[in-house]
Structure 1
Amino acid sequence: MLTAALTGCSGGGNTSTTPASKAASAVASAGARATAAISSLAAQATEAISSATAEAGRRLGEVKNGIEAKDDVQLGTPATAADGRTTVGITVKNTADSTKSFAVQVVFKDSGGKLVDTVVVTVSDVPAGKTGTATARSTHNLSGEVKAEVGSALRY
């Protein structure tokens, strides 16, 4: 009985609404939609990062007889391309005595150091003692300040 009385007092029987209550309802509804949209975007971003990380691991795992060569790799400054993707130049130096290829994992992070994407780029057939170049490109649009680091580099 008490529940029915409290429910009745909440305005359930009153069909008139004030402009303020309509506005409050609209704000609450918009807030709920925004929260759902943010949750959906966060889930999509997490899925994209997980997918990119898995693909990077797979590509690095395909390299046979690779030697760690992180010290032979330099990255340029990240930039946003016209299509919204982040790109960064890669330069590798082949210190071996024969032509080699490189698999370079580039890790993109936000200004807080949080991983936002990762890709693996191959720089093929770099002659002994020479340098080779390539460009890493994010798998999706990245916003804000983005930093790039070499996650791993294999010479093979």
Structure 2
Amino acid sequence: MERHGIRGLILGAAATAALAAPLTGCSDDTTPSGVASAASSIASEAGDALASATAEAGQKFDEFKNGVNAKGDVKVSDVSTDSDGRSAAKVTVTNSTSSSKSYAVQIDFRDRSGNLLDTAVVTVDAVAAGAAKDATVRSNRTLSGDVTAEVARAARN
């Protein structure tokens, strides 16, 4: 039993090194600690990018003075990949009021497991009363895998 445990550990470390080797660039450090360091660095960069995007989304909503919750007025399409390799989705805002309104819409890009990959804000200005208007929201960076988009929040003023 102990032999399988050690064998499994060795095979797991080898597989991790093989899969992570492309991530380490030109580095010759394929030791488990070197691979772990490279993976940690990549995860840290992704986390920093997400934190930056989340902070930027918060700032855009802060600039949208006296906004009223309008999440129910917004629909988002399936995600596609644009010519720059970034994830994109069509946002449709339907103004349910009796006067022209502007909207700020935050879209969260997630993987199929629901993990947050990126967030972006799009503004849709001068949507006529009772009318619908489309805009395109794009991720801040290239996302991989099966990406979905959801309306995180929306405000109108």
User: Which bin holds the TM-score, normalised by the shorter protein?
Assistant: 0.7 to 0.9
- Structure 2 counterpart of 1:120: 121
Shift of 1:87: 0.1
> In the alignment, which residue of structure 2 is the partner of 1:30?
30
Output one character per residue of 1:66-113: Cα deviation in whole Å (capped at 9) or x when no partner.
111101100011011122100000000011111111000000111111
Percentage of pairs with the same residue: 46
Unaligned 5+ runs, structure 2:
1-17, 19-27
| Alignment partners' CA distance in 1, 2:37 and 2:119 | 27
Q: Partner residue of 1:73?
A: 74
* Secondary structure class of the residue paired with 1:139: coil
Q: Distance in 2 between matches of 1:29 and 1:139?
A: 31
- How far apart, in 2, do the equivalents of 1:79 and 1:152 lie? 21
- Matched residue, 2:56: 55
Query: Partner letter of residue 29 of structure 1?
Result: D
Q: What amino acid maps onto 1:140 in structure 2?
A: R
Q: Which has the larger radius of gyration?
A: 1
Provide the alpha-carbon RMSD of the alignment.
1.5
1:101 aligned residue: 102
CA apart distance, 1:34: 3.0
**Any stretches of 5+ residues in structure 1 without a counterpart?**
1-26
Question: Deviation of residue 29 (structure 1)?
Answer: 3.2
Pairwise CA distance, 1:37: 2.0
TM-score, length-scaled by structure 2: 0.79
Q: In the comparison of the two structures, how many residue pairs are matched? A: 130
Amino acid at match of 1:76: S
Tell me the SS of whatever aligns to 1:140. Answer: coil
- Residues in 1 aligned to 2:46 and 2:102: alpha-carbon distance in whole angstroms: 31
The 2-side partners of 1:29 and 1:65 are apart by: 54
